[in-house]
Amino acid sequence: MNNLDITGLDWNLLWKQAKSKKTWKSKKAADWDKKALSFAKRTATSIYIDRFIELLNPQPEWSLLDAGCGPGTLALPLASQVRKVSGIDFSKKMLEILAQKAAEQGLDNIRLHHCSWEDNWQHHGIAPHDVAVASRSLAVVDLKAALVKLTAHARIKVVITDRVGHGPFDPDAFAAINRPLSTGPDYIYTINLLYQMGYLPKIDYIELEKEVPYADEEEALQGYLWMFRDLEAGEKKLLKNYLHSITTFNRDGSVTVKRSSPPIWAFISWTPVNS
């Protein structure tokens, strides 16, 4: 039997290597700009929000930093539960949607910073907060650098959510159009890296809905198209057929899509003091 030893493993390097093999390349700010509206719509009613907030257990006195805040999936509901929220995102469109919704909801304790993970946050006036959160937003080149940075910006707690396995991608949809799916490193790398960095990460899991409601088949298709790049006409037809096969048609004209493997997110938290 081989004499295996995990102590010499460099989990950040393993993560980078696994990331370089994934079929789906990370999106740039302009890509997120284009997807901002549909993303905001898709996530606004997801059970992810309630489950995340329940696990976070926000306290009224907290200041909270939300890195990769997107259209305010969490920043908006959390703003009414904590003292103040700072949101960071490199997509201007995402921040515009967040700002508009905050105004509509009369929230005046959210500050937004248009910058990226890689920018110098100090130069953007971003100081440490009580709690630092990165929800589904660790789209970075260097995971360790991002974790170090986020931890340095938290006094009480750091929370991230990371993919479990395929995450939000539907493997059956990829199989249906005969495309390989390799989504890259998931939370197991992150957990091991945090352990190596001297933290004691806690893990919970957020399992999303198996059945997702859409206004109609076209909206359901839009809810799937983001998973693929450069879809050819033949592939789109196969995708439509697959979606049709997992769709139930409701009396009011709406549809329900039932996927066999719903997304699971690992909710990972740790205290920002090296043990």
Ligand X SMILES: C[S@@+](CC[C@H](N)C(=O)[O-])C[C@H]1O[C@@H](n2cnc3c(N)ncnc32)[C@H](O)[C@@H]1O
Residues of this chain that interact with ligand X (CB under 6 A) are 32, 43, 68-70, 73, 89-91, 94, 116-117, 135-137, 139-140
Residue type, 58: P
Nearer to ligand X, 139 or 156 (CB): 139
Q: Closer to ligand X by CB, 73 or 269: give it.
A: 73
Q: Which residues contact 122 (CB under 8 A, 6 or more apart)?
A: none
Q: Which two tokens stand for residue 211?
A: 């059945």
Minimum gap (Å) between residue 17 Cβ and ligand X: 20
Q: How far is the CB of 73 from ligand X (least distance, A)?
A: 3
CB of 146 vs ligand X, minimal distance in Å: 9
Q: What is the dihedral of CA 52, 136, 108, 32, to 10 degrees?
A: -150
Cβ–Cβ < 8 Å for 246, 258: yes
Minimum gap (Å) between residue 2 Cβ and ligand X: 38
**Residues in contact with 203: Cβ distance below 8 Å, sequence separation at least 6, in sequence order:** 187, 191, 266, 267, 268
Closest CB to ligand X among residues 23, 248: 23
Residue 209 is given by DSSP the state P
Between 63 and 137, CB nearer to ligand X: 137
**Residue 46 vs residues 43, 128, 143, 245: alpha-carbon distances, Å:** 5, 29, 27, 23
The least distance separating ligand X from the CB of residue 93, rounded to whole angstroms, comes to: 8
Residues 6+ apart with CB under 8 A from 177: 228, 231, 235, 238, 239, 242
Residue number with CB closer to ligand X (134 or 194): 134
Supply the minimum distance, in Å, between the C-beta of residue 179 and ligand X: 21
Number of H helices, E strands in the chain: 10, 10
Of 66 and 130, nearer to ligand X (C-beta) is 66
Count CB atoms within 10 A of the CB of residue 42.
19
Q: Which residue lies nearer to ligand X by CB, 168 or 235?
A: 168
In the complex, what is the shortest distance from the CB of residue 72 to ligand X, in angstroms, rounded to a whole number? 8
Residue nearest to ligand X (CB): 70
Q: What is the DSSP-derived secondary structure letter of residue 174?
A: H
